Amino acid sequence: MTVAEPNPPVRRLGDWSAARLRELAAGYGTPLYVLDLDRVRENAARVRAAFDREEVSYAVKANTTRAVLSTLHDEGLGAECASAGEVQRALDAGVPGDEIRYTAVNPPARDVDHVVDLARDHDLTVTVGAADTLDAFAERGYDGRLCVRVNPGVGAGHHAKVTTGDAPQFGVPYDRAPGLVDEAAARGFDVVGLHAHAGSGISGEDLSAHRELVARMGDLARSVGTDHDLAFVNVGGGFGVPYRPEEGPLDLPAVAAATREAFGDADVRLGVEPGRYFVADAGVLLTEVTAVKPTPETTVVGVDAGMTTLIRPALYDAYHEVRHLGGAGRERISATVAGPICETADVLAADRELPRPERGEVLAVGNAGAYGYEMTSNYNSRPRPAVVALDGGDPRLAVRREDLSALTAMECDNEW
């Protein structure tokens, strides 16, 4: 396992070699996601050093490319999966079934069917957040390892759309959780754990909410544990990363200490499941300038990446640093970096100071390793980008670029 200092400096966009990124853009085309697997390993080592007594898993939804899944499995992490597709990806990447938890929200019937089929050959753990979901698994003959997701009534996160701990669709209400655990055990399920998650992007500013969630889960574990032999309590782990240049790194050892203190003594193993923290600063998005248009309001810098390539700015008002990979000594301008999608929301960055770009030059968008490629789409019939993974500095194509023929590959060959 890679060894890292507890709190090394965060990786900023300026730490990437501009010449190397330009070379990758020239060789693989744009838009292009670049993932540095060495940085993924460093982040994993830092989390495991801080949470050295806890079970650490990877929240797969942050980035499901096989390169990342295999790398984090090699670093000793299990996989927390939000869909049947993520379970399949984890298995395909070599993660053993007994290190995979399926933690879905309102899972569709076909997902449940697929997971039950997989469970026959792999010792998966299934997490349910509603009595109806428990019924759905029981109806299919599943009686294996089961975890109950609890809604503790406490939420935190960088945006209202990713705060989960107090949102009603996530988990069984706190006061009803013991009853569902009792019911599951009475019906023959192997009840092994409890789960809760406050939200995504948790920072020092909202650590109090995280502590409260953990404390409530500790109380619940001690209460439920008198009648059931629980193996673990997973309290999530949506740890924040500094997207803005002025933001400092999260103090992981302090978070770990606060988590342990809040949980208290319980005869059960505590677990965390970061996602973004492992991969965000390990990725950048490269995009080519397609047009530079001065307007009375701003200079619009058109690029070939847009909200179909990176939706976080449009969906969450998220900030991503933007860097011109050239232009040294040029006049600096205030620019709005906009994509090719026919939507006003298709803006990657507004009012950013950049050396004046020219058509054909390359910009880099930082902290793009988490929820970047994962949330790409084909809206406006745009093919999805390629992904290149750096391993020891050597590039390997991890995901091929879609071409236009892929956009209609799933359509039925009918005459309309």
Q: What pLDDT was estimated at residue 199?
A: 66
292 and 344, same domain (yes or no): yes
137 and 206, same domain (yes or no): yes
Question: Which residue, among 315, 309, 301, 289, has the nearest Cα to 372 in the 3D structure?
Answer: 309
Q: How far is Cα 170 from Cα 112, in angstroms, rounded to an integer?
A: 17
Q: Where does a domain end: 247, 280, 313?
A: 280
Report CA dihedral (401, 405, 411, 412) to the nearest 10 degrees.
Answer: -140
**307 versus 201: which is more confidently predicted?**
307
Q: Where does a domain end: 280, 298, 332?
A: 280
314 and 375, same domain (yes or no): yes
309 and 227, same domain (yes or no): no
Q: What pLDDT was estimated at residue 17?
A: 97
For residue 270, give both structure tokens: 């505590």
262 and 342, same domain (yes or no): no
Tell me the pLDDT band of 164, cut-offs 50, 70 and 90: very low
Average pLDDT for the chain: 92
Percent of the chain with pLDDT over 90: 82
Strands (E), 134-195: 145-151, 172-173, 190-195
How confident is the model over 202-219, as a mean pLDDT? 81
Tokens 């047009």 belong to residue: 291
Q: How far is Cα 386 from Cα 399, in angstroms, rounded to an integer?
A: 5
**204 versus 403: which is more confidently predicted?**
403
87 and 175, same domain (yes or no): yes
263 and 290, same domain (yes or no): no
**155 versus 85: which is more confidently predicted?**
85
241 and 312, same domain (yes or no): no
Q: What pLDDT was estimated at residue 4?
A: 45
Percent of the chain with pLDDT over 70: 92
Q: Would you say residue 23 lies in a domain? A: no
Q: What pLDDT was estimated at residue 398?
A: 98
Among all residues, which ones are annotated catalytic? 342
Q: Would you say residue 267 lies in a domain? A: yes
Q: What pLDDT was estimated at residue 313?
A: 98
Q: Would you say residue 240 lies in a domain? A: yes
How confident is the model over 377-395, as a mean pLDDT? 97
Domain with residue 393: its CATH number is 2.40.37.10
Domain that holds residue 103: 38-280
207 and 108, same domain (yes or no): yes
How confident is the model over 318-346, as a mean pLDDT? 96
Q: Where does a domain end: 244, 260, 280?
A: 280
Domain with residue 74: its CATH number is 3.20.20.10
Q: What pLDDT was estimated at residue 218?
A: 95
Residue type, 219: D
How confident is the model over 31-46, as a mean pLDDT? 97
Q: What pLDDT was estimated at residue 233?
A: 96
Q: Would you say residue 19 lies in a domain? A: no
pLDDT in tens, 2-29: 444 444 568 999 999 999 999 999 999 9
Q: What pLDDT was estimated at residue 66?
A: 98
Q: Would you say residue 18 lies in a domain? A: no
Q: What is the pTM of this model?
A: 0.93
Q: How far is Cα 49 from Cα 95, in angstroms, rounded to an integer?
A: 21
203 and 78, same domain (yes or no): yes
186 and 290, same domain (yes or no): no
Residue 191's alpha-carbon distances to 103, 115, 186, 395, in angstroms, are 14, 17, 10, 44
Buried b / exposed e over 250-282, threshold 16 CB at 10 Å, is bbbeebbebbbebbeebebebbbbbbbbbbbbb
161 and 293, same domain (yes or no): no
pLDDT in tens, 104-155: 899 999 999 999 999 999 999 999 999 999 999 999 999 999 999 999 887 5
Q: Which of 4-8, 60-64, 84-88, 257-261 has the lowest mean pLDDT?
A: 4-8
Q: Which of 4-18, 95-109, 222-236, 297-311 has the lowest mean pLDDT?
A: 4-18
Q: Would you say residue 411 lies in a domain? A: no
What are the residues whose beta carbons fall under 8 Å from the beta carbon of 138, sequence distance 6 or more? 187, 189
Residue 323 · residue 13 · CB < 8 Å: yes
Q: Would you say residue 12 lies in a domain? A: no
- Number of folded domains that form the chain: 2
Q: Would you say residue 109 lies in a domain? A: yes
